[in-house]
């Protein structure tokens, strides 16, 4: 055998050995990869199981909490003295501190109604109209933190929100985030009504706000019907600066009156919230007389209240009878 043949034979043998070694390492790497993927899947399954368990626990906890939560709000020390507030506070800020526990109870009731409707009908999509004001405001945060929506994105996707409540929108973006902070999306699809930012009411208001409300509903309906053939229900949740037993919702700003009236018109279901502190036995004229307001700057009732009042749903709190003995008749400033 020549030297060249010997070199070729050795080279072939070395190549065979290298191929065998490579095959062994490739087999080991494949085996490690399979074991790693299996371990990773087990970890992922455990994480999903844990998250599902947490979600179910939160649901059960919320269900039990709602069963035992107080349905009546008592105020042993009603606010009979005028509150001292800085002159630069908005009307919204001042009213946010009034009857807070009762407003929270009203919010829980509304969110529970929405949860039941969403979970009992899998084909239902709700277009939820949330009014401006401090009474409606707690609903925004509660929706974001409620387990039925926070841990179930399907439920959240079937709830579309339209509002002119600017602090409420802030809560939706703060407490209803999905994903990393820098690229977060909102839990609920929310349409903000057009208008001008009104600092006193912290709301968007203007001549176009009521018209835009109808446009926003149409936009959502068109989008929903394009993607699915769901049942669509429009739910309006509104309130008044005061609520008159005789005349219904009272509002002070002309654009408030127009927007609230439209909310009554467009809602399949309409809920009117009233902590007992703003549910009054007075007419709009009596309220204006008590507060010394002219017709131009005073409160007015909604022109379409009488048309819808039979199918409206009032959500109110009640108090102990002795609460009223502490109130001076025909007094609003206290």
Instruction: Classify residue 14: in a domain, yes or no.
Output: no
**Residue percentage of the chain with pLDDT more than 70:** 71
Would you state the pLDDT for residue 65?
Answer: 46
Neighbouring-strand partners of residue 236? 129, 270
Range of the structural domain that residue 84 is part of: 69-325
**Residue 201 token pair:** 């009411």
Among 53-67, 95-109, 207-221, which stretch is predicted with the lowest mean pLDDT? Answer: 53-67
| CATH code assigned at 297 | 3.40.50.1360
Number of domains in the chain: 1
Instruction: Classify residue 245: in a domain, yes or no.
Output: yes
Enumerate residues 6+ apart whose C-beta is below 8 A from 134.
Answer: 92, 95, 96, 98, 103
Instruction: Classify residue 53: in a domain, yes or no.
Output: no
Instruction: Classify residue 128: in a domain, yes or no.
Output: yes
Would you state the pLDDT for residue 130?
Answer: 97
Would you state the pLDDT for residue 76?
Answer: 35
Instruction: Classify residue 17: in a domain, yes or no.
Output: no
Instruction: Classify residue 137: in a domain, yes or no.
Output: yes
pLDDT in tens, 152-178: 888 989 999 999 999 999 998 888 877
**Residue 33 token pair:** 């990869």
Mean pLDDT of the chain: 79
Neighbouring-strand partners of residue 177? 186
Instruction: Classify residue 10: in a domain, yes or no.
Output: no
Alpha-carbon distance of 79 to 84, in angstroms, equals: 12
> 3-state DSSP: the chain helix, strand, coil percent, rounded to 5?
55, 15, 30
pLDDT in tens, 28-73: 777 777 777 777 777 666 666 655 555 555 555 545 544 444 333 3
Would you state the pLDDT for residue 90?
Answer: 63
The radius of gyration of the chain's CA atoms, rounded to the nearest angstrom, is 30
Would you state the pLDDT for residue 69?
Answer: 40
User: Is pLDDT above 80 for 147?
Assistant: yes
User: 110-117, long-range: CB within 8 Å, 24+ apart, which pairs?
Assistant: 110/139, 110/237, 110/271, 110/273, 110/315, 111/139, 111/142, 111/143, 111/146, 112/66, 113/271, 114/143, 114/159, 114/235, 115/146, 115/148, 115/149, 115/155, 117/233
Instruction: Classify residue 52: in a domain, yes or no.
Output: no
């Amino acid at each position: 055998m020549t030297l060249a043949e010997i070199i070729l034979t050795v080279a072939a043998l070395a190549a065979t050995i290298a191929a065998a070694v490579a095959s062994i390492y490739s087999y080991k790497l494949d085996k490690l990869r399979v074991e790693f993927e299996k371990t990773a899947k087990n970890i992922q399954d455990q994480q999903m199981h844990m998250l599902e368990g947490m979600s179910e626990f939160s649901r059960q906890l919320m269900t039990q909490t709602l069963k035992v939560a107080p349905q009546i709000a008592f105020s042993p020390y009603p606010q009979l003295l005028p509150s001292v507030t800085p002159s630069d506070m908005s009307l919204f800020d001042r009213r946010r501190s009034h009857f807070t526990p009762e407003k929270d109870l009203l919010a829980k009731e509304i969110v529970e109604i929405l949860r039941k409707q969403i979970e009992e009908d899998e084909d239902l999509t709700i277009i939820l109209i949330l009014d401006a004001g401090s009474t409606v405001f707690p609903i925004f945060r509660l929706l974001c933190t409620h387990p039925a929506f926070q841990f179930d994105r399907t439920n959240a996707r079937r709830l579309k929100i339209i509002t002119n409540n600017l602090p409420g929108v802030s809560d939706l973006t703060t407490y209803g985030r999905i994903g990393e902070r820098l690229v977060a999306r909102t839990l609920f699809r929310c349409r903000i009504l057009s208008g001008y930012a009104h600092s006193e009411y912290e709301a968007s208001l203007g001549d176009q706000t009521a018209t835009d409300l109808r446009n926003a509903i149409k936009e959502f309906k068109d989008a929903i019907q394009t993607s699915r053939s769901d049942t669509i229900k429009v739910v309006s949740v509104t309130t008044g600066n005061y609520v008159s037993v005789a005349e219904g919702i009272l509002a002070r700003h002309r654009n408030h009156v127009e927007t609230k009236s439209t909310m009554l018109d467009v809602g399949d279901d309409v809920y009117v919230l009233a902590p007992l502190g703003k549910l009054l036995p007075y007419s709009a004229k009596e309220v204006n007389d008590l507060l010394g307001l002219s017709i131009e700057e005073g409160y007015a009732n909604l022109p379409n209240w009488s048309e819808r009042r039979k199918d409206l749903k009032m959500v109110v709190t009640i108090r102990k009878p002795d609460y009223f003995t502490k109130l001076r008749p025909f007094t609003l400033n206290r």
